[in-house]
Amino acid sequence: MEKIQMEDNLEIDHDKIKKIMEIKLKYLRGEISLELAKEEMITSVKNVTAQEFAICEQYLQQYGITDDELAERMDEILQIFDGILTSNKIDVKLGHPIITYLEEVKAIRNVLIEAKNMLNKKFIKNQWAEVYDNLEEINIHFSRKQNQLYPALEGKGFDKPSKVMWTLENNIKDIIKKAKEYLDRDEDEKFLNIQNEVIEMIEDMMIKEEEILYPTSMDLLDHEDFIKMRKGDDEIGYCLIEKPPYYKEDEVKKDENASNNELLKDLAKVLQKHGIFNKEDNEVLDVSQGKLTLKQINLIFKHLQVDLSYVDENEIVKFYSDTKHRVFPRSAGVIGRKVQNCHPRESVHMVEEIIRAFRAGEQDQAEFWLEIGGKFIYIIYNAVRDEEGNFRGVLEMMQDVTKIRGLQGSQRLLSWTNKKQESKKDEISGEVIKNQYGLTKETVIGDLVKKYPFLKEFLLNLSTKFSKLKNPVLFKTMASIATLDMISERGGFEVEELISKITEEINSRN
């Protein structure tokens, strides 16, 4: 076996690994049965750690075992190790990213227990709808793994989670979506018949995470990796749990300002390398059309109405714009990552085809549009070329164009979309709307729904324009920043009218 990068980060018994590989390959090639493979593994190896299992998965690619085959046969492979797969207890403080994942696993299991219990009771649609609202939050759990944990593991040479687990996660999201569609269409029998499969697939993933992924992550990654990971976790959000405390809070607080200016620092390094920049934030730079400081460049990117991502000519993600309202969640973990590993395996061929066509000069742009959660998303990829026409990468631009598509006629007169009061006094008095719940235009929707959970469903029924609340990932993202003033504008209400309706609904429930 040729040496692989994972060996540099793990202490391994090469003779033991060689024996494990021999048995696995004989089974995968059809030379021995599953029972015989299990028997040989018990006799020859006796016990296998999560780390040994993981490194053997990585070695398989040297023997022509594709990621497709590995994903399809993962359950069979795990059966070979039934009863002999061991892992050390993870003992770290609350707030450590791995502990956070494990806390989410517990919360997800509680939802599965509730679902199992309900299978033995009379079918009540609203109760099942609540279960599936919770179950859909697993998307956040998967998204954080894909954007935070997997990139860190790739950096240590372990890319099988990105290539194999991501596919299994997509399968889970698909079956949850399918079951939810049955429920919404009142196809009760089909909905109930699929529940055991939903529960089994999710539980199976939780076992893979607990027994293999997280123990291996603890051995492969170091303290600094987890500190960096924790800083980006909040950008994605959390599944069925409250925001955890900071890991090593003293160190994190020390670096908070630096974290907020990661784009500025990264760009400064590039400019310094080429002798253009001398570390001063206020130094004026000659850009293609104008003169800007680095701070101004950073602010421009933060205030764009489109999401930008840039992949260089080596197919490495180098940048994304850190806007307030991204269409899809991103975290700093994607920077420096191969772009192929930022997409589910099923769509990698499309990514590679776009890059190939751009690199060869056959095409200069590719367009896509899709409807998700009541929003119409427009995506365009442009080939980036220098003055000599050399391929220098791909620029992705993404925008929610739902509002734009609905515009008609002309607007030639000034009309503020977010009217401000003429004076501070007027502003203060305008915010004070008489109601016993203290609701104002500055009330944050996340705080409100947390206190009155029924308001989420109420808002969905109030206006179709609130449909984005159905998407747990998007709701999690906007809940901490969207005010009643902001969502009233989206829903087509005056803020006073919306507050009045919410107040009436709360009163009716008391």
Same domain, 459 and 433: yes
Q: What is the pLDDT of residue 12?
A: 83
What is the pLDDT confidence band of residue 274, given thresholds at 50, 70 and 90? very low
277: domain range? 261-303
56, 62, 66, 70 alpha-carbon torsion, rounded to 10°:
-10
Per the CB < 8 A criterion, the answer to whether 86 and 48 are in contact is: yes
Instruction: Tell me, yes or no, whether 413 lies in a domain.
Output: no
User: Which tens digits make up the pLDDT trace of 31-53?
Assistant: 999 999 999 999 998 889 988 99
Q: Are residues 241 and 154 in the same domain?
A: yes
Residue 320 and residue 287 share a domain = no
Going from the C-alpha of 254 to that of each of 222, 247, 249, 251, 280, the distances in angstroms are 19, 12, 8, 5, 21
Q: Note whether 123 and 223 are same-domain residues.
A: yes
- pLDDT value at 258 more than 50: no
Residues 383-395 pLDDT 10s: 999 999 999 999 9
Residue 194 — pLDDT band, cuts 50, 70, 90?
A: very high
CA dist., res. 18 & res. 20, Å (int) = 6
Q: Is residue 132 part of a domain?
A: yes
- Whether 327 and 297 share a structural domain: no
Take residue 385 and report the two structure tokens written for it.
């070329």
Q: Could you tell me if 55 and 26 lie in one domain?
A: yes
Q: How many CA atoms lie within 13 Å of 1's alpha carbon, on the beta-carbon side?
A: 24
pLDDT more than 90, % of the chain: 38
**Whether residue 129 sits in one domain with residue 208:** yes
What residue type is assigned to position 264 of the chain? L
Model pLDDT, residue 89: 84
User: Is residue 330 included in any domain, yes or no?
Assistant: yes
Total domains in the fold of the chain? 5
Output the CA angle 13-17-19, nearest 5 degrees: 120
Please determine, for residue 256, whether its predicted confidence score (pLDDT) is greater than 50. no
Looking at the structure, tell me whether residues 115 and 243 fall in a common domain. Answer: yes
Assess if residue 32 is contained within a domain.
yes
pLDDT digits (tens, 9 = 90+) for 316-370: 999 988 777 778 777 777 788 888 877 777 788 899 999 999 999 999 999 999 8
* Average pLDDT, integer, range 119-132: 91
What gap in Å lies between CA 432 and CA 207, rounded to an integer? 51
pLDDT surpassing 60 at residue 269:
no
Q: Given this model, what pLDDT does residue 203 score? A: 95
Mean pLDDT for the stretch of residues 417-421: 55
Element (DSSP H or E) covering residue 485? helix 484-491
| Residue 58 pLDDT > 80 | yes
Alpha helical stretches, state H, 361-439? 402-405, 424-431
Cite the DSSP H helix spans in 185-213: 188-193, 195-208
Q: Provide the token pair at 384.
A: 């980036």
Q: Of 284, 285, 282, 321, nearest to 300 (Cα)?
A: 321
* Confidence band, pLDDT 50/70/90 cuts, at residue 277: very low
Mean pLDDT, range 76-100, rounded to an integer: 89
Angstrom CA distances, 369 to 174, 399, 402, 407, 486, stand at 20, 10, 11, 18, 25
Q: Average pLDDT, whole number, for the chain?
A: 83
Query: How do beta strands 48-49 and 85-86 pair?
Result: parallel
The per-residue pLDDT for 253 is 45
Listed residues 339, 374, 408: the one ending a domain: 408
Please report whether residue 432 resides in a domain. yes
**Residues 182 and 160 both lie in one domain:** yes
Q: Check pLDDT > 90 for residue 65.
A: no
Distance CA 25, CA 37 (A): 10
Question: Do 504 and 381 belong together in one domain?
Answer: no
Residue 255 lies in a domain: no
Going by pLDDT thresholds of 50, 70 and 90, the confidence category of residue 427 is very low
Tell me the H-state helices in 85-238. Answer: 97-118, 125-135, 138-144, 150-154, 160, 166-184, 188-193, 195-208, 214-220, 223-236
Maximum pairwise Cα distance, the chain? 83
Residue 91 belongs to some domain of the structure? no
Residue where a domain stops, chosen among 86, 112, 131: 86
CB-based contact 263:322 (threshold 8 Å): yes
Residue 390, CA distances (Å) to 31, 76, 119, 362 in order: 51, 47, 61, 13
Pair 321, 266 in one domain: no
Q: Starting from the edge strand earliest in sequence, which strands make up the sheet with 307-312, in order? A: 317-320, 307-312, 391-400, 375-385, 365-372
- Token pair for 171: 């399968």
Distances from the Cα of 117 to the Cαs of 131, 279, 282, in angstroms? 11, 61, 62
Interatomic CA distance for residues 460 and 480, integer angstroms? 18
What's the CATH number where 239 sits?
1.20.120.520
Q: Which of 105, 101, 193 is nearest to 146 (CA)?
A: 101
* CA pseudo-torsion sign 23, 25, 31, 37: positive
How far, CA to CA in Å, does 47 sit from each of 23, 42, 56, 86, 368?
14, 7, 14, 7, 49
Tens digit of each residue's pLDDT (9 = 90 or more) over 135-191: 999 999 999 999 899 989 988 888 887 778 888 999 999 999 999 999 999 999 999
pLDDT score for 36: 95
Question: Is there a contact between 366 and 351 (Cβ–Cβ < 8 Å)?
Answer: no
Q: Are residues 24 and 154 in the same domain?
A: no
Q: State residue 478's pLDDT score.
A: 62
Contact in structure between 296 and 280 (CB atoms under 8 Å): no
Tell me which residue of 58, 71, 151 sits closest to 342, measured CA to CA: 151
pLDDT range class, residue 302, cuts 50, 70, 90? confident
Domain boundary residue, one of 248, 272, 289? 248
In a domain, 253, yes or no: no
